[in-house]
Amino acid sequence: MHNLTKHIKKETEKNQHQQDQKQNNCGNKRKNYKGIPVTSQLIKKPQNLVPMKNIIKPTVQMKGKSMLRRKVKSKLKLLSPEQFTMQSKAVCQKFLSLDIYHNSKDICIYLSMKSECNTNPILQQIFKDKKRCFVPRIPDNERMLMLEAYSMDDISSFPKNKWGIPEPNEDDVDGNNRAEASDKDGRLDIIIIPGVAFDLTGRRLGHGKGYYDRYITNLKDTRYATDQQSAFPSLVALALTPQIVDQVPTEEHDQLMTHVLFP
């Protein structure tokens, strides 16, 4: 009888331990769950994000990025011209209503392709408000410059690059060097960054060339590494509704957006 009681007690403790372990595992699954509901339109200073490289193997990760690019681009093609125009206008209005815009002086902004939120309304307002505007130039396969544009007429005179995007020459029509946004004598407030897809933790999926990630990393490592007085520029994403996804796979070098705006 004594042995039987001892055996029953041992089995009870074993079963209890298994149940506790099962509950802990469920709790961990909930804790580590990364699905993000599409409810927010403004992300500020994302923190404590786990780099996806710690979860997904690089080969799987790259395949995931390629698949997501194809999926989002297919959905963008389903937007009618009217929907595209309406969504772009709504996103631009949201950006122009932000305090960071009203308080800014120097802004980097991309010149949009057909598959991206049309940035022309923002460009026009920047010049109307007499802020400084910097737009991308890609001199080679590694570097990107952000060179000053003076007006919409100036932009309309830019030659187009291999992607069909207007791009400034390093010298203007008068032969003067265009200012670069990262020059130490300037104050850079906002960088508006293009992309294929975004999630609401600030993760961004670019076109795969890495120009913006390298540019931002270089800013952090050079100008802002020693400048403790200036706040780092806000990193703003402008997205159409098909570009907002539950989760973007990222790598260590991928930069997080501070603001993700969509219709």
pLDDT digits (tens, 9 = 90+) for 194-210: 999 999 999 999 988 88
**Position 166 confidence tier, pLDDT thresholds 50, 70, 90:** very high
Specify whether the CB–CB gap between 196 and 72 falls below 8 A. yes
Whole-number pLDDT of residue 185: 66
Q: Is the pLDDT of residue 113 over 80?
A: yes
Residue 93 — very low, low, confident or very high, per pLDDT cuts 50/70/90? very high
Average pLDDT of every residue of the chain: 81
Higher pLDDT: 23 or 154? It is 154
pLDDT of residue 189: 95
**What is the distance, to the nearest Å, from the Cα of residue 181 to the centroid of all Cα atoms in its chain?**
19
Indicate if the pLDDT at residue 31 is higher than 50: no
State residue 242's pLDDT score.
Answer: 97
CA distance 124 to 155: 11
Question: Using N-to-C axis directions, what is the helix angle for 120-128 and 81-96, rounded to 10°?
Answer: 30
Nearest Cα to Cα of residue 94 among 240, 250, 215, 243? 240
Closest-CA residue to 235 (of 91, 44, 47, 103): 44
pLDDT in tens, 218-234: 988 877 766 666 789 99
Nearest to 33 by CA among 53, 18, 55: 55
Q: What integer pLDDT is reported at residue 70 of this predicted model?
A: 94
Q: What is the pLDDT of residue 186?
A: 64
Is residue 47 predicted with pLDDT exceeding 80? no
CATH number of 42-261: 3.40.50.10420
The whole-number pLDDT of residue 58 equals: 42
Q: Which runs of consecutive H residues, i.e. helices, occur in the chain?
A: 2-32, 58-76, 81-96, 99-102, 120-128, 152-156, 211-221, 223-226
Residue in the structure block whose two tokens are 């994403």: 237
CA–CA gap between residue 186 and residue 217 (Å, rounded): 18
Its pTM stands at 0.76
